[in-house]
Chains A and B, each alone.
Chain A
Amino acid sequence: MSAAAPLPASDDVPRPQVDDVPLLEVESISKTFGNVTAIRDVSMRVRAGEVVCVLGDNGAGKSTLIKTLAGVHQPTTGRYLVRGQEVQLASPRDALSHGIATVYQDLAMIPLLSISRNFFLGSEPTTGVGPFRRYDVRKADRVAREELAKMGITIRDTSQPVGTLSGGERQSVAIARAVYFGARVLILDEPTSALGVRQAGVVLRYIVQARERGCGVIFITHNPHHAYPVGDRFTILNQGRSEGTWDKADISREELVQRMSGGTELAQLEHELRGVDADGSRS
């Protein structure tokens, strides 16, 4: 039951409605550190070709949730299922072998390393045998260029350092890399939060691109305006609990913003600010 069946094995099992089986599903997982409960009773799932957004303010438990999904932490309670099979992930490497890749906001790329070397870092293609086995520069350059082209990024010189790319492009290269190395589920940790409006747009487009290619995407953000255009479903986290999950059809952008920022608090704040403004104009 709890055996961590590798992906190919589960392919052999005949499955009537394979598209309906979530690529990744967690059932009421909790994670406690000592006597601090970071997340409590969170359930969510992502299917192929679907973007699920996890929204939450700072301290809502987003990073614990990401790390649990990514295999860094093991859930204290609850079930973790990959394509309907319960698994226990021992490490991020283990998650990767199940097709679950995580792209971290600031750890995505090494700025001084070239694009193709970044793309293949840790999984370099080689050619030749024995002591003459060497890094296949040509293949690395070609594949990196092709894969980026599939994501709509045209790069002539893949030997330029990643640092010459814009922030949005860097995140996109990381996404392309994860997809190339067989990721079925992409977990994106705040990929847009450090970016300007235009660059965030670039990344959002690649998220859609990855979805079109059949990936399941879990998009973690604190920005409902980034989440709404690309998301199919929205889960809001607050103080380690899930406040609920909505399909796009069931929630408007305004409502999402409201719920996300704790609705009444924001209304209260707006009210107070209006008061300050009124005071200011009076004196």
Chain B
Amino acid sequence: MLVPAAIAFVLLVGPLVALLVRAPWARLGALLGGDTVLPALGLSLGTAAASTGCCVVLGVPLAVVLSGSDGWPAPVRRVARALVTTPLVLPPVVGGVALLLLLGRVGLLGGPVFRATGFQLPYTTASVVVAQTFVSLPFLVLGVEGALRGVDRRFAIAATTLGAGPWTRFVRVTLPLAAPGVAAGAVLSFARAIGEFGATVTFAGSLPKVTQTLPIAAYLALNTDPDAAIAIAVVLMVVALVVLVSLRDRWLQGIGR
């Protein structure tokens, strides 16, 4: 029992230790300020923030609809939930290909738009945001739906009998009570978005300063400038740690309980 457990632990922690040991700490500032990393860092933070915003704006209403789906026929409900969850289990590259087939220059929707206006979404910064939103939306929707379902029904009843219609009830009672769940979902979405690689590189490519986010820059730099790749990895690890710490109370204690 102890040996496989120890191997598992080393497998989980070892790579991170290696990363920290090999990181070019002395040159870290210079590397991060360099021509490759700084634009990628700005692009990653910007697109991840934008896609997190999209996730909240689109995902909260979807979560509301799903949390009220108990009256739907069971098969419809199951299919709806499965479809929403799909991007979680889909290989990101497949997601990228699928996005191209829908929104690309010859895609189902993208084709007509391109013929009519000459505009094509892929290989633009906006396409990075779309790819990130696609992969991270389920985190937000499932988290918020759980939070909405967790709000005690008697608060909604109290609001109703105090004269609140459905909208007031949602805005002033249910949503505020589910706010920690929305925040946790947003943080998870951000984490997923900033680490996004497969769907982004497939759908948006890797144009420096336009679609080349940190993970893509790290992958490309590994061949040409390994130290830069390591520096990016350190940055992404710090982001992951910040996410972990910010979710500590909700997740780790929740698991412990």
A and B found bound together: no
